[in-house]
Structure 1
Amino acid sequence: MSYTLNDADKAAAEKMNDDQRYNHFVNKVTEHEQLWILTDEHGCMMLTSDDDEDCIPVWPHADYAKAWAVDDWSECKPEAITLKVWQSRWVSGMEDDELLVAVFPITDAAGVLVEPRELQDAFDRKKKSGRKD
């Protein structure tokens, strides 16, 4: 289930630091039960961090993913993954492949890099708390 994103929301996200975007991401994904990746004809797009870690970037809304899809990634399209599928397939698959998650990167910031299980634990804690801040 997606939500409407307006220009004010996008501008506010651009002003958030990495930790604020991480928390925003966890809140939105938990609330709407989906996250977004970028894909092309070869599959899911990955990036390499400054520390040479392979990562899959994720966003809380398709429009944020689209904004990232420029230059080398201009052929990419946002694809939704339900939280249920993320938990059942992606977390263990990424762990097996030794991939990290790049949470909510924006134009000038790579986002927070976390282990897939750590991100899943954040979703689980948020769901358990029942808060929607």
Structure 2
Amino acid sequence: MARDDISRGEADRLRRLDDAARLDRTFEIIAAKGVVWVWGDEDEVLFTEDGERRTLLPVWPHATVARMENEGEVAGEHAIRIPAKAFLNEWLPQLEEDDAVIAVFPVEDRIAAVLDLADFRERLTAALR
């Protein structure tokens, strides 16, 4: 198991939390580990869209939960590790240009929260203090 991974059992326990608890735990874990996880392949990060046709970037607190959510979908896709500070300083400005929002810790058809970039930045900055 890589240093950023958790067991599937621990990941499953996190996945079963209600939305509010998954949201809170996501920021706690990102702050503790200093890492945000997204999904993609060698060429790009994968976005999704919601019923309101907003562009969503799904993020997870651990590679294991990202894999459990996406496993078996497309060969070559994998969890992508992004340092939290790089996410704040480099990714969020780019996401703003892309008019995207953040889908925090999606599990099946449940997203813990959809946060606009300002809310995500505020919560992550506070967690990292």
Residue of structure 2 equivalent to 1:62: 63
Q: Quick one: distance in 2 between partners of 1:111 and 1:43?
A: 24
Runs of 5+ in structure 2 lacking a partner?
none
Task: With the length of structure 1 as denominator, give the TM-score of the two structures.
Answer: 0.85
Distance 1:50 1:71, change over 3 A: farther
RMSD: 2.0
Q: Secondary structure at the match of 1:65?
A: helix
1:1-133 mapped onto 2 (5 Å cutoff): 2-70=3-71, 72-128=73-129
Q: Return the letter of the residue paired with 1:77.
A: H
- The answer (yes or no) to whether the contact 1:102–1:113 under 8 Å persists in 2 is yes
Aligned residues: 128
Runs of 5+ in structure 1 lacking a partner?
129-133
Distance 1:120 1:32, change over 3 A: same
- The answer (yes or no) to whether the contact 1:69–1:75 under 8 Å persists in 2 is no
Distance 1:7 1:68, change over 3 A: closer
Q: Quick one: distance in 1 between partners of 2:67 and 2:8?
A: 14
